[in-house]
Chains A and B, each alone.
Chain A
Amino acid sequence: MSHTRRMVEELRRRLGEDAPMCQVQAPLEPIEPPPSRVIPRGAIRDERFAREAAQHTTALVGVGRVGSRYATEVVLQFQAELAVAHAAVAAELSEDWAESAGLPLLRSRVGHHREFLLRPDLGRRLDAQAVAWLEANARRDVDVQPILADGLSAVACMGSGPELMGHFIAQCEALGLRVGTPVLAKYARVWLQDEIGELCRAKVACILLGERPGLGTGDGLSAYMVYEPRVGRNDGERNMISNIHARGMLPADAAQRLARLAQGMIQQRTSGVELDLSAIPGLGGVGGTALREPQVRKRLVEVP
């Protein structure tokens, strides 16, 4: 009720008017008050395409609008998801975890987490200790060098990293490839695979690392592979698979594809844009190419 209406009713009582204020029907069409629980309305929501597209992605499509703005609910959801992403970026790979995973921990030239975020160049090179460890302990002249790394999401690395690594090694061995000593890299960028692979004299280096978190998804892993890893390889010489997580490609499927990709690289003696993917049998078929199951956005906030 408006301040004025309340004040006038109070004044009526004071002046001895007992009857309630006459509720004259307003001559206007009734206007619905803003709903407390916002169901975004508007053209976008009403379109069949947007509605169906929204079923197949967790991306922000078909969220509707209120006026020219997002609904409060959408904004809150966005902020919650962004917080998840920030937390994933801020998380660090712990020494304890490396020990429990049973993997030797190699460090890049990065000194601390903030430097890791600000200096990608340092995250692409190994520190002296790591180089010495690899020279002393790693298997040489292997077909595939598997590397697990934190990348931009240590959460993802510590989550499904070991599972993906395990599947990948098993799949490579099943294809008869010689697999190098599995290692874990901290403060690692993708290109760190070049130096590790070069030191191990691997034909193919494969780094599995946490990918830059998206909204509400801090658990995604990406895999990058390069043939004849050498420091200075560029991204055109790499192949990669992204979105390896429960809602995207499952680790088991990804491992199968990666192993076949590695085999294909060794057969064709190249990787990246020059690699003829059509000549690698079974690559496209793994996991199927059909539409994914309808996806449901995980709700992080509820607006009452």
Chain B
Amino acid sequence: MSRILEPIYPKVLSVRRLPGASPALLRAYGADPDKHTSLGLITCDQDDPTYVALDEATKHADVDVVFAKSFYAGAAHASGPISGEILGVLASGSPDEIEEGLRALLRCLEHDACFYTASECGGIAVFPHVIGSLGRYLSAQAGLQPGDPMAYLVAPPMEHTIALDAALKAAQVEARLILTPPSETNFAAAFLSGTLHDCEAAAAAYAQAVIEVGREPLR
């Protein structure tokens, strides 16, 4: 029997490096050939933990997240065995920086960012992630400064909508970005900012509400 709030570990499906990528490819994936020469690429079966891990990489190495996109309908409907539900691309002027960035990225996926089960049967997943200190990638996405704390909240559409309301009321947080359903993977997401303490309180309220909605969907 599966219990609630157990980590669902992300599975890294591929990690590749392109130390001297061709300029056309660099441009197509959002990199700047004048500044970037090397790419680090990753696919994973969980998209949101990977966005967080890509951001983590920018805190550890001189890398830019030039490309990160989720795949339609998620990992369960992937185009191939190593496609997963996201392709993330780090770019840098040095292969060594890419290497350091990938180390940080993989470390984050292994030890920090992951979805959690939100129902006893394991069918509902929630991502109530608290980032103590943003990197350059997500801070830009959220309109915050690198180093700011942020709550990164993801759940299925109904759960998310109810839980986000609970989260916004549970602490002194501000909604930076609310992505209404469906996302590419048919989830919904929100970025909340505030003090680290408030972000944690909001994320906890969010996770709790997701669990409650799952238990009583027809209340």
Binding site for B on A (CB under 8 A): 2-5, 7-8, 10-12, 14-15, 17, 19, 21-22, 24, 26-28, 30-31, 33, 65-68
7 nearest interchain CB pairs?
A: A67-B100, A2-B112, A68-B96, A3-B130, A26-B110, A28-B110, A7-B200
| Stretch from B29-37, B72-80, B177-185, B204-212 contacting the other chain | B204-212
CB distance from B148 to the nearest CB of A (A): 13
CB distance from B9 to the nearest CB of A (A): 5
CA separation between A262 and B208, bound complex, in Å? Answer: 89
Given A7-B130, A17-B5, A27-B9: A67 and B204 interface contact (C-beta under 8 Å): no
CA separation between A12 and B103, bound complex, in Å? Answer: 30
Task: Please give, as numbers and ranges, the residues of chain A lying within 8 Å of B11 by CB-CB distance.
Answer: 27
CA separation between A12 and B94, bound complex, in Å? Answer: 43
CA separation between A14 and B208, bound complex, in Å? Answer: 10
Contacts A2-B113, A11-B208, A31-B107 known; 9 new A-B pairs at CB < 8 A: A7-B130, A7-B204, A8-B207, A15-B208, A17-B5, A21-B6, A24-B9, A28-B12, A31-B103
Cβ of B97 within 8 Å of any chain A Cβ, yes or no, is: yes
- Pair B196/A4 contact, Cβ less than 8 Å: no
Task: Please give, as numbers and ranges, the residues of chain A lying within 8 Å of B129 by CB-CB distance.
Answer: 4
Residues from 113 to 139 in B contacting A, C-beta threshold 8 Å: 113, 116, 128-132
Binding site for A on B (CB under 8 A): 3-7, 9, 11-12, 61-62, 94, 96-97, 99-100, 103, 106-107, 109-113, 116, 128-132, 196, 200, 203-204, 207-208, 211
Query: Which of chain B's residues has its CB closest to A26's CB?
Result: B110
Given A2-B112, A28-B12, A31-B107: A7 and B203 interface contact (C-beta under 8 Å): yes
CB distance from B28 to the nearest CB of A (A): 26
Given A2-B112, A28-B110: A11 and B207 interface contact (C-beta under 8 Å): yes
CA separation between A45 and B67, bound complex, in Å? Answer: 35
Please tell me which one of the listed residues A4, A12, A24, A26 contacts residue B4 in the complex, with CB atoms under 8 A apart: A12
Task: Please give, as numbers and ranges, the residues of chain B lying within 8 Å of A4 by CB-CB distance.
Answer: 112-113, 128-130, 203
Given A8-B116, A8-B128, A10-B204: A3 and B196 interface contact (C-beta under 8 Å): yes
Q: Which of A10, A21, A28, A66 has the most CB of B within 10 A?
A: A28
Task: Please give, as numbers and ranges, the residues of chain A lying within 8 Å of B112 by CB-CB distance.
Answer: 2, 4-5
CA separation between A5 and B109, bound complex, in Å? Answer: 12
Classify the secondary structure of A's interface with B. loop
- Pair B7/A21 contact, Cβ less than 8 Å: yes
CB distance from A41 to the nearest CB of B (A): 12
Task: Please give, as numbers and ranges, the residues of chain A lying within 8 Å of B208 by CB-CB distance.
Answer: 11, 14-15
- Pair B5/A8 contact, Cβ less than 8 Å: yes
CA separation between A218 and B102, bound complex, in Å? Answer: 42
Query: Which of chain A's residues has its CB closest to B6's CB?
Result: A22
CA separation between A275 and B97, bound complex, in Å? Answer: 52
A-B contact pairs, 8 of them (CB 8 A): A2-B130, A4-B113, A7-B200, A7-B204, A11-B207, A15-B5, A22-B3, A26-B110
Please tell me which one of the listed residues B99, B110, B130, B211 contacts residue A31 in the complex, with CB atoms under 8 A apart: B110
